[in-house]
């Protein structure tokens, strides 16, 4: 269903884009810079910009955009609150005040400060400046980023996933009060919980200690899975493809296994027994780097890269119908992109589960390594 919906959504956008391409041509010429936010996507460069924009976090929740006959861009969606920790303290306003501008031309004035949105990032312009000035590589030269605590699209996604989890699983939990075997949707959720417990946590952490980490592992598993799946819906979330999110998740895993390390774990990490004394400090550095940096890094990059790549591939394949139209004609290019995108979407649904599984699996593996009590030789 989701596959179909997403495909239909992009088909609609593409069809609208093709129909209105003539009206857009004149407008685009006037504006000079192509609007990447929901703008019409006709050329390879625009496709690239659109995908790049999608992969980033967004301050608006745009479902789709279209052009009126008059050539005006209309965006369908809703604005989200922008909350900034600026040099003047907390500043909050709705993202609609940027009027979907994403290249720093619309300035919002609050508390005597001017804010501009450039490529999905909000900049605070230095005092005295009237407009953002760019250098050659389009970096703003007279502005810096404040701490952006906005309820962005990703935060909405996180909250939505959290709400879904809380709703679904607390209902399941309440069911057990009245009956032994849950009914309805709980019947689907229960085996998943048992799966995480029996296939991921128990074998990797060990029968004695797994219980303590079940809360984290279950939360992370369903959090990642739900967000991966939400990313495949037409809502267009890309939460698990945000490096900040995956960094946070990996950091949690790291903190958990570092704080729960057993005596044996620290002995083996810092002063490896059975190795010449000269080598021990070297090994300690390597081991410590492995646990503090390399393992969390592999976790965060794997999830981030997989989801980002998945979104990139799916959107590129959908864009085939636009980019290949001249070479193959509209029917062939549309058909080709439909078949290929559908195929990749099916794989992406698998990947959505797989990445959640791998993240949880590796987390429990690392936790298992840290809490393991070695038998003394």
For residue 253, the minimal CB distance to another protein (Å) is: 11
Question: What is the size of the binding site for another protein (CB under 8 A)?
Answer: 43
Which residues, numbered 216-235, are part of the site for another protein (CB under 8 A)? 216, 218-219, 223
Q: Is 165 in the site for another protein (CB under 8 A)?
A: yes
Pairing state of beta strands 81-86 and 73-79? unpaired
Q: Is 166 in the site for another protein (CB under 8 A)?
A: yes
The CA–CA distances, whole Å, from 261 to 54, 102, 213, 256, 270 equal 40, 46, 13, 9, 12
Residue among 255 and 339 whose Cβ is closer to another protein: 255
Q: Is 215 in the site for another protein (CB under 8 A)?
A: yes
Q: Is 172 in the site for another protein (CB under 8 A)?
A: yes
Residue with tokens 């903190």: 255
Contact (CB, 8 A) for 245 and 239: yes
Residue among 9 and 209 whose Cβ is closer to another protein: 209
Residue among 227 and 344 whose Cβ is closer to another protein: 227
Nearest CA to 93 out of 71, 66, 114 is that of: 114
Residue among 301 and 342 whose Cβ is closer to another protein: 301
Q: How far, in Å, CA of 55 to CA of 77, rounded?
A: 18
Residue 277 token pair = 């004394």
Pairing state of beta strands 81-86 and 147-148? antiparallel
Q: Is 135 in the site for another protein (CB under 8 A)?
A: no
Contact (CB, 8 A) for 79 and 156: no
DSSP 186-249: HHHHHHHHHHIIIIIIHHHH-TTTGGGGHHHHHHHHHHHHHHHHHHHSTT---STT-HHHHHHH
Among 27, 97, 126, 148, binds another protein (CB under 8 A): 148
Residue among 149 and 340 whose Cβ is closer to another protein: 149
Residue among 148 and 287 whose Cβ is closer to another protein: 148
For residue 365, the minimal CB distance to another protein (Å) is: 20
Q: Is 190 in the site for another protein (CB under 8 A)?
A: yes
Nearest CA to 38 out of 81, 72, 83, 87 is that of: 72
Q: How far, in Å, CA of 20 to CA of 139, rounded?
A: 32
Among 4, 5, 127, 176, binds another protein (CB under 8 A): 176
Taking CB under 8 A as the binding criterion, the range among 15-23, 37-45, 166-174, 318-326 that sits at the site for another protein is 166-174
Q: Is 315 in the site for another protein (CB under 8 A)?
A: no
Q: What angle do CA 64, 27, 49 make, to 5 degrees?
A: 50
**Binding positions for another protein, rule: CB under 8 A:** 56-57, 121, 147-152, 154-155, 158-159, 162, 165-166, 169-170, 172-174, 176, 180, 190, 193-194, 197, 211, 214-216, 218-219, 223, 242-245, 247-249, 251-252
């Amino acid at each position: 269903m989701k596959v179909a919906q997403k495909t239909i959504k992009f088909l609609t956008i593409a069809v609208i884009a093709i129909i209105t391409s003539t009206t857009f041509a004149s407008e685009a010429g006037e504006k000079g810079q192509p609007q990447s936010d929901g703008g019409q996507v006709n050329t390879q460069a625009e496709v690239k910009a659109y995908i790049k924009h999608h992969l980033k976090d967004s301050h608006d929740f745009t479902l789709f955009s279209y052009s009126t006959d008059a050539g005006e861009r209309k965006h369908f969606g809703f604005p989200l609150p922008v909350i900034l920790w600026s040099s003047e303290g907390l500043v909050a306003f709705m993202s609609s005040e940027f009027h979907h501008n994403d290249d720093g031309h619309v300035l919002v004035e609050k508390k005597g400060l001017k804010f501009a949105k450039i490529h999905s990032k909000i900049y605070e312009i230095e005092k005295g400046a009237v407009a953002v000035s760019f250098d050659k590589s389009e970096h703003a030269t007279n502005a810096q980023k404040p701490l952006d605590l906005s309820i962005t699209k990703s935060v909405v996604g996180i909250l939505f996933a959290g709400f879904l989890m809380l709703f679904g699983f607390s209902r399941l939990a309440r069911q057990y009060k009245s009956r032994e075997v849950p009914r309805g949707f709980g019947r689907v959720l229960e085996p998943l919980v048992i799966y995480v417990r029996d296939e991921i946590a128990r074998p990797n952490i060990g029968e004695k200690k797994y219980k303590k980490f079940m809360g984290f592992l279950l939360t992370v598993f369903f959090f990642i899975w739900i967000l991966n799946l939400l990313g495949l819906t037409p809502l267009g979330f890309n939460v698990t493809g945000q490096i900040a999110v995956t960094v946070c998740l990996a950091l949690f895993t790291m903190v958990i296994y570092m704080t729960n390390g057993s005596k044996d774990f620290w002995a083996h990490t810092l002063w490896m027994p059975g190795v010449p004394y000269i080598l021990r400090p070297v090994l300690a550095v390597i081991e410590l780097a492995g646990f503090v940096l390399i393992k969390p890094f592999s976790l965060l990059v794997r999830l981030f890269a997989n989801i980002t790549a998945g979104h990139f591939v799916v959107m590129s394949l959908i864009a085939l119908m636009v980019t290949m139209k001249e070479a193959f004609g509209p029917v062939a290019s549309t058909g080709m992109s439909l078949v290929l995108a559908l195929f990749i979407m099916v794989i992406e649904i698998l990947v959505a589960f797989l990445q959640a599984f791998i993240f949880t699996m590796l987390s429990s593996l690392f936790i298992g390594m840290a809490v393991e009590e070695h038998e003394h030789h």
